[in-house]
Structure 1
Amino acid sequence: MIFSDPASVAVVGASDDPAKWGHWLARGALVGRDRRTVHLVNHGGGLVLSEPTVRSLSEIAEAPELVVLAVPAAHVPAVVDEALAVGVRGFVGITSGIDEAVVRRIREAGARILGPNCLGVFDAATSLHLAWGRFQSGSLGVVSQSGQVGLEIGGLAAASGLGVSRFVSVGNQADVTATEALLDLVSHDMTTVVGVYLESFGPGIVAAMSELRAAGKPVVLLTVGSSTAAREAALTHTGALTSSLDVVDAACRRAGAVRVATPAALVDLAAVLSCGTPRGRRVGVISDSGGQGAIAADLAVAAGLSVPPLASVDGLPAGASRRNPVDLAGAGERDLANYARAVEVLARGGEVDTVVLSGYFGSYGEDTPSLESAEVSVAERICAAARETGVAVVVHSMRPDSAAVRALRAGGVPVQHTIERTMAALGDAARLGTPRRPPAPRHPATAVPHRPGYLAARDLLDFVRFPRAHAVTSAAEAGSTPLTGPYALKADWPAHKSEQDAVKIDVTDPAAAFEEMHARLGPGTYVLEEMDTRQNAVELIIGARRDHSFGPVVLVGAGGIHAELFNDTAIELAPVTPATAHDMIERLVCAPLLSGWRGAPAADVDALAEVIARTSETIAARPDLAEIELNPVRVGPDGVVAVDALVITMDDAHPLRDSVGSPAAT
């Protein structure tokens, strides 16, 4: 309770100067003095905000539970030492530049610090306001690594009528983490939806978001697109193809959360989710303008929603269209109650999951004050329809703030000033899933120790079908092979054989091919392999790697030497089930090639899904492995054959990366 409802607080650095942090923090702290004891500390003494101050923490008879550090960094060590000496156990580190030694002293004393370099903390339920800025009380919990971004989210939430239930700026996360702040919101009664801004992801984030979702508090995540793993140079094609946002999105799918791109999109979606999650993607559009209805329908489809035709629309006003979108054709102007009637008809008809009212409604009372009362009554009736039917109702109004708009928001109906933001938020809401626990392992982890090279990778990945092959070290061995041609000849050791010209295909004279390759690449183990000559095989890539933020991930995508060019991939946190692997395959742009494109026989997708799942299980069960790559994987009607494989251990991962240079070099 130290950071949400302390019994006493002290603001060190309290100031009477409105331009200083200490002024804002003191003013905010005093808001809650009916609930807790507030001490203002200023080394010069005197009054701050007409309240008496003390010169140091040692002048306070009883140690405050929470101390806010709003003094220059050079003075922080002395303040912290004094605070710990008198028994303080919680700190809010506003000041930047607090070094690790100070944080270590705090932790060693059994105390905690939020920040440093943070904007502070706010809790509407407990009148705790130890942050810069103003917050409107509401239902959105905000956890932000950036104080300014969090403050922007809070301002947008106030403008939308949503408001903030709790705001936690975690700053540098030297001690208290975003994961802890999120878990603390699970039992926070005022919070119904959570907005998160993070620039890096620590342990437990996925579990925390999952727990919030399971508690009925959906999470909307905003990030800048550069996780820890994405900043590393990628050695394999798998790494090169996988951006950090791919991994973040996979983490969101696992947790049942949604990622958005801007603070405004976060608040727009949070406003929709705070009123309940839409049941599906079917949208019914109502407008008193044919043009606005058509625009709304186009934007709905662009956002991944559907605008289905309506079979039963009895009860609509005379003259209104019976299609979807519904054009009231002036009926709203003749009788404002027609807006409510139309919403009720669509909400009760069972043919849509969400009703969007778009256009002029919300403007009548502003333009014609005598209509304000009637318009507010209609707004309240619309809210009642949403509550009674459980169908989500969202309004796009040409007026950003009017009596009717305020009545809609107060009644639980989100309102947006533009139709594009309305539909974008509904499209984002449709992506909200349910948390998925990692599946239990189906197979014991392979005990084969990994050795470098292609042949060793084949041994470790014993669940994968490879062509017949054997090692050769001389032209004579290659020439006397028992294999059936045509052949592929490969150097066993290079990670990227094509780039180093370390693979030859369609070989008919293996002895001559060996002599030529050996002369260029030197001594070592070479592999002679039967070529997979099956017709109608589709080339894919299957990869897995260990993300530093989210752990093991698995990928499938268009494969072969042009894999990076097409950049057609799907990724999930590992391990996955074969069912999830099927979902990954279906997300690929090249998926139709597997189902019988232009009359070709359908590929064995079940076998492909099984290989994806087994690869994911292997990376998850083997913490000694950094990366696995199967590329290309040839998928045909009679199964899956991998014709190259690469396995990299954690011990080898970083030295190998250093040896190949920059990401562009890979």
Structure 2
Amino acid sequence: MGRLSTLFAPDRVAVIGATESEGAVGRAITENLQATYDGEVVAVNPNADEVLGLPCHDSVADVEDADEIDVAVVVVPPGIAVDAIREAGEAGVRNVVVITAGFGETGSEGAARERELRDVAAEYDLNLVGPNSLGVMSTPRGLNATFGNEMAQEGSVSFMSQSGAFVTAVLDWAAERDVGFKDIASLGNKAVLDEGDFVAEWGSDPGTDVILGYLEDVDEGAEFIRTAREVTRETPIVMVKSGRTDAGASAAASHTGAMAGSEEAYEAGLEQAGVLRVETVQELFDYAQILADQPLPDGDEVAIVTNAGGPGVMTTDAVGDAGLSLADFGDETLETLSESLPEEANIYNPVDVIGDAPAERFELALETVLQDDGVAMAVVVACPTAVLDFEELAEVVIDCQREYGLPIATTLMGAKSTGPAESTLNDAGVPTYFDPARAVDSLDALRRYDEIRSREHVEPETFDVDRERAREVIERGVDRGSNRLGVEAMELLDAYGIPTPEGEVVDSPGDAERVAEGIEGDVVMKIVSPDILHKSDIGGVEVGVSTDEVRDTYEDLVVRAREYQRDATIVGVQVQEMVDLDAGTETIVGTKRDPQFGPLVLFGLGGIFVEVLEDSTVRVAPVTKPEATAMIDDIESAPLLRGARGTEPVDEAAIVETIQRLSQLVTDFPSILELDVNPLVATPEGVTAVDLRLTIDQEEL
């Protein structure tokens, strides 16, 4: 166990604000502790001599051996809560659960109070839960330091929630379904302890087999990824993340900024952390049950055994929808099934033992398919009939699962007749569901977690780059009076080893001609202005300009820019080597700084298609080589990069390296808020960054 072990396994708990007043939270918590907790409960209230039979103390400091109090639960009004916490810290208490509301969730005055609370916790090195928390539970000690009306049943799942109401709802739901827990924590405002602290604690807890969570935000995204990535090597984490939003996207200055919003950040961050994200409470506990009780599969091949054709087809569809494979049986398996089952039965997957099958026929079929080397897991789907005893079937499934060691999920499609059998299966750790899709999705959770455990964990590559040159480019651009830079900052990419076309930004027709003369062939010319983001829309780009046309083109571009916006800042015109866009595939790489997770890196199909197709994927920086490689796999347009319709495949290794180099760039420079390289032209010979746009936070320079 880690540093929070005494929070969940205390010998002594003090309730600061204990009371006998009917309906008071202090009374509910005291009663809950007295009802189930096997340790000592200490009542603290200066206005009472006794509370619910407990002698009452004026303050924690007045308690004999106060430094042996493991947890102080604070239920006093917000105006005096901080002082009560300070007294607890001075007395030697190390764990504090602040039930009291009226802090950061209530406005500026509450936020100031929460900052003070945080300072006190830091001064006394307190493990502080909340404020605005429902409390904490731990079933091994019977600890119910909450004001909920339900004590959890014992189990091996530990659960955290940012919503106290969600905890009470889940406990009520779980009690109806015999779902048990090890520890439960209501995070509240997360002033001190947050989701990462509990993930770390439960990851080191031998009594926790699965970690569940309901989150509305993640405060320290990068740190959470690092912590969860380590924990998920041994302990699965399943989370509901609510609060999907596009807020902020409309204000973004780049394509990346518009597409890589907060939801994409959470999706990428949780995936990189190895967290299994779900959308519903049902999925949360479906996954928890199977991950806690069933072995991991050695493959994705599913065998289906059923006594009903329709549900068998439904299950087959669910296997396909989940991305699992329908197992192909070997000749020996097919021969055994053919000899043993009725002629009307279907011996191919899904195996239909037909409607008159008793439990013994299910057993024969299930044993046969589980012995097939091409089967990694199985679903048993049964409808009620006059000849099938569900309780006998439950025993068959349990015996087969134990004998063959493969994961099995069951679907008993009934209600009145399934109850005892479901209890038998659940008690033995074999999950059962009414809907076959839920059974298959749960098996897929096992497969996905097995992939997470098998991931290659590598450190991000560090390339030899010219950081000082990059810094000078950024500062030089900002010195011109704008925080938005364009192609005038192409040297930034060159400093980080990202290939760019030959070219230069000039401020006169003569210099434009000089640069063009040094470039072989016709050139591209682009107006350079921080006030004109979409140059093509105003005629600010000319392609295929010959040397003798360069001077006139320079003048034309400046005139068009002035006509579009008279007061626009004109830095000059970029004269650039032409890149044959038809010789490659236009992609985009970009970054955006997320408030929770830090810099994000985006990759997708680029050029004119970036806004139309929106085919992109995001990772949290720093991006490793395996993660950059996976980004190419993620986009639907990946076949275009790999030689679709007879075209030559592009140099994927060059794309992967560019993603990594850009990741290093934005990690090195927190001042870069957003950045687009669009297009990044990918060819069989490599990549070339043709255009650039970035936004700088001048306060971070």
Fold agreement, TM-score > 0.5: yes
User: 1:488 aligns to what?
Assistant: 524
User: 1:289 aligns to what?
Assistant: 308
> C-alpha separation between the residues in 2 aligned to 1:261 and 1:223?
7
Q: Matched residue of 1:221: which SS?
A: strand
Say whether the 8 Å CA contact 2:10–2:71 is kept in structure 1. Answer: yes
> C-alpha separation between the residues in 1 aligned to 2:593 and 2:32?
44
Deviates more, 1:261-270 or 1:41-50: 41-50
Residue from 418, 425, 438 that aligns with 2:435: 418
The answer to whether residue 391 in structure 2 is matched with residue 376 in structure 1 is yes
In the TM superposition, residue 277 of structure 1 has moved relative to its aligned partner by 3.0
The answer to whether residue 535 in structure 2 is matched with residue 497 in structure 1 is yes
In the TM superposition, residue 329 of structure 1 has moved relative to its aligned partner by 0.6
Computed over aligned residues only, the root mean square deviation of the Cα atoms, in angstroms, reads 3.0
Say whether the 8 Å CA contact 1:186–1:212 is kept in structure 2. Answer: yes
User: 2:361 aligns to what?
Assistant: 338
In the TM superposition, residue 249 of structure 1 has moved relative to its aligned partner by 2.9
In the TM superposition, residue 16 of structure 1 has moved relative to its aligned partner by 4.7
User: 1:468 aligns to what?
Assistant: 502
In the TM superposition, 1:363-442 aligns within 5 A as: 375-399=390-414, 402-432=419-449, 433-434=452-453, 436-442=456-462
Deviates more, 1:41-50 or 1:106-115: 41-50
> C-alpha separation between the residues in 2 aligned to 1:14 and 1:207?
39
Say whether the 8 Å CA contact 1:67–1:88 is kept in structure 2. Answer: yes
User: 2:375 aligns to what?
Assistant: 352
Say whether the 8 Å CA contact 1:153–1:264 is kept in structure 2. Answer: no
In the TM superposition, residue 566 of structure 1 has moved relative to its aligned partner by 1.3
User: 2:232 aligns to what?
Assistant: 213
> C-alpha separation between the residues in 2 aligned to 1:84 and 1:603?
62
User: 1:457 aligns to what?
Assistant: 490
> C-alpha separation between the residues in 2 aligned to 1:301 and 1:461?
46
User: 2:140 aligns to what?
Assistant: 125
CA deviation map 1:389-409 (0-9, x unaligned): 221100122246611111111
Q: One-letter code of the match for 2:382?
A: G
Residue from 527, 544, 549 that aligns with 2:574: 527
Structure with the higher helix share, 1 or 2: 2
The answer to whether residue 630 in structure 2 is matched with residue 583 in structure 1 is yes
> C-alpha separation between the residues in 2 aligned to 1:528 and 1:208?
48
CA 606–355 in structure 1, closer or farther in 2 if over 3 Å, else same: same
CA deviation map 1:218-266 (0-9, x unaligned): 1112212559996794332112111333322322333222111122211
CA deviation map 1:297-325 (0-9, x unaligned): 11221122222332324245334311111
TM-score (norm 2): 0.84
> C-alpha separation between the residues in 1 aligned to 2:456 and 2:243?
23
User: 2:189 aligns to what?
Assistant: 172
> C-alpha separation between the residues in 2 aligned to 1:561 and 1:331?
61
For structure 2, the residue ranges without an aligned partner over 5 or more in a row are: 104-112, 478-485, 563-568
In the TM superposition, residue 653 of structure 1 has moved relative to its aligned partner by 8.2
Deviates more, 1:406-415 or 1:341-350: 341-350
In the TM superposition, 1:56-71 aligns within 5 A as: 57=60, 60-63=63-66, 64-71=69-76
User: 1:39 aligns to what?
Assistant: 42
> C-alpha separation between the residues in 2 aligned to 1:578 and 1:403?
51
Say whether the 8 Å CA contact 2:512–2:554 is kept in structure 1. Answer: yes
In the TM superposition, residue 622 of structure 1 has moved relative to its aligned partner by 4.1
Residue from 328, 337, 342 that aligns with 1:309: 328
> C-alpha separation between the residues in 1 aligned to 2:63 and 2:699?
57
Residue from 1, 12, 16 that aligns with 1:8: 12
User: 1:644 aligns to what?
Assistant: 691
CA 231–128 in structure 1, closer or farther in 2 if over 3 Å, else same: farther
User: 1:660 aligns to what?
Assistant: none
In the TM superposition, residue 208 of structure 1 has moved relative to its aligned partner by 2.1
In the TM superposition, residue 501 of structure 1 has moved relative to its aligned partner by 4.9
CA 505–17 in structure 1, closer or farther in 2 if over 3 Å, else same: farther
CA 461–652 in structure 1, closer or farther in 2 if over 3 Å, else same: farther
In the TM superposition, residue 444 of structure 1 has moved relative to its aligned partner by 2.5
In the TM superposition, 1:189-338 aligns within 5 A as: 189-203=206-220, 204-214=223-233, 216-226=234-244, 233-274=251-292, 275-311=294-330, 312-313=333-334, 314-315=336-337, 317-318=341-342, 319-332=344-357, 335-338=358-361
Say whether the 8 Å CA contact 2:508–2:572 is kept in structure 1. Answer: no
Q: Matched residue of 1:184: which SS?
A: helix
Q: One-letter code of the match for 1:281?
A: D
> C-alpha separation between the residues in 2 aligned to 1:326 and 1:15?
63
> C-alpha separation between the residues in 1 aligned to 2:271 and 2:251?
25
CA deviation map 1:593-615 (0-9, x unaligned): 12222233332223222222322
CA 348–146 in structure 1, closer or farther in 2 if over 3 Å, else same: same
Say whether the 8 Å CA contact 1:12–1:68 is kept in structure 2. Answer: yes
* Identity, % of aligned positions: 28
In the TM superposition, residue 427 of structure 1 has moved relative to its aligned partner by 3.4
The answer to whether residue 119 in structure 2 is matched with residue 104 in structure 1 is yes
CA 43–618 in structure 1, closer or farther in 2 if over 3 Å, else same: same
Say whether the 8 Å CA contact 1:540–1:631 is kept in structure 2. Answer: yes
> C-alpha separation between the residues in 1 aligned to 2:204 and 2:613?
45
The answer to whether residue 80 in structure 2 is matched with residue 80 in structure 1 is no
